[in-house]
Amino acid sequence: MNIKFLLSFLAISVSSIVLVSCQSQETETVNQKTVVTEEAPVESIEKIDSNVVFNANLASQEDLKLTGLSSELIEEILTKRPFLTMNSLDSLLKGVANKEELYRHLFVPINLNTTPESDFLLIPGVGKKMAHEFEEYRPYQSIKQFSKEIGKYVDEEEVARYENYVFVPVELNSASEEDIKALPGIGEKMAHEFEEYRPYSSMKQFEKEIGKYVDDRELKRMSRLVYLKK
């Protein structure tokens, strides 16, 4: 009788140990999955062509999904844009891991003539030496000048890649149509409208005239791309 009791007790003990061990492994597996999800917010970014850089102020919801960002962050981007500086977007994405890889495909073009040298480091692949060269040749009169000067240090392909991340603001009354069209998100039709109302006497006039064609948010985005001589 004592032997049967002992065998029964041992069987129950072994079963309990196995059950606890399985539960522990399941918990560990769940925790590991959670950690992986938090550390890999751009897991689907390989779906984007290596040469594509979406302008965060213009990208569609479908474009943003390709970057692997969460639906919550995508909604925040769509709600809070336009971002007038890359720093604004960078602050919104402060909790995202591997931001350099994300910024290869999502960026707010930055003003070559006013951006602090240190902020050029937000551009993927731009180290301190190249950031200094970006600053060295200011003020730039056109994106062509930027390409010429920086082309002294890197090949044409790399210069073309840099151009996705920067812009040179244009003077509204004197800029050529070519320079206007070189601005981020300004096509041939809008470049024509920019020229149509020249000469502008104030930025207020620019906003009034161009506001006939775009909404307030797009007008705010465009206004950061231009200026008037005093």
The answer, yes or no, to whether residue 114 has pLDDT greater than 60, is: yes
- Neighbour-count burial for 136-158, b at 16+ CB within 10 Å, e otherwise: eeeebeebeebeebbeeeeeeee
Q: What is the pLDDT of residue 169?
A: 98
Instruction: Name the amino acid, one letter, at 45.
Output: I
For the chain, the domain total comes to 3
pLDDT at position 21: 47
The model's pLDDT over 131-140, given as tens digits with 9 standing for 90+, comes to: 999 999 999 9
Residues 155, 174 share a domain = no
Pairing of strands 54-55, 110-111: unpaired
Hey, what are 226's tokens? Answer: 């231009």
For residue 55, report the phi and psi dihedrals to the nearest 5 degrees: -75, 120
Query: Quick check: is 8 in a domain?
Result: no
Lowest model confidence (mean pLDDT) among 3-7, 69-73, 157-161, 220-224:
3-7
Among the ranges given (46-50, 62-66, 91-95, 197-201), the one the predictor scored with the smallest mean pLDDT: 46-50
pLDDT at 36 over 50: no
Q: In terms of domains, do 223 and 202 share one?
A: yes
22 falls within a domain? no
Which residue type sits at 116? P
Q: Are residues 44 and 99 in the same domain?
A: yes
pLDDT attached to residue 45: 62
Strands 226-227 and 170-171: parallel
178 and 230 in a single domain? The answer is yes
Residue 15 lies in a domain: no
Range of the domain at 200: 169-230
Any domain includes 3:
no
Per-residue pLDDT at 15 exceeds 60: no
* Interior/surface letters 19-35, b for 16+ CB within 10 angstroms, e for the rest: eeeeeeeeeeeeeeeee
pLDDT, residue 48, reads 82
38 CB-contact burial (10 Å; exposed 0-12 / middle 13-18 / buried 19+): exposed
Average pLDDT over residues 61-85: 97
108, 128, 156: which is the final residue of a domain?
Answer: 108
Q: What is the pLDDT of residues 147-202, one digit of tens each?
A: 999 999 999 999 999 999 999 999 999 999 999 999 999 999 999 999 999 999 99
162 assigned to some structural domain: yes
Residues 60 and 81 occupy one common structural domain = yes
Overall average pLDDT of the 101-128 stretch: 97
Percent of the chain surpassing pLDDT 90: 77
Classify residue 18: in a domain, yes or no. Answer: no
| Distance in angstroms (rounded) separating the CA atoms of residues 23 and 12 | 17
Mean pLDDT of the chain: 86
Q: Decide which of 167, 194, 211 is a domain's last residue.
A: 167
Is 4 part of any domain? no
Which residue, of 151, 167, 183, is where some domain finishes?
A: 167
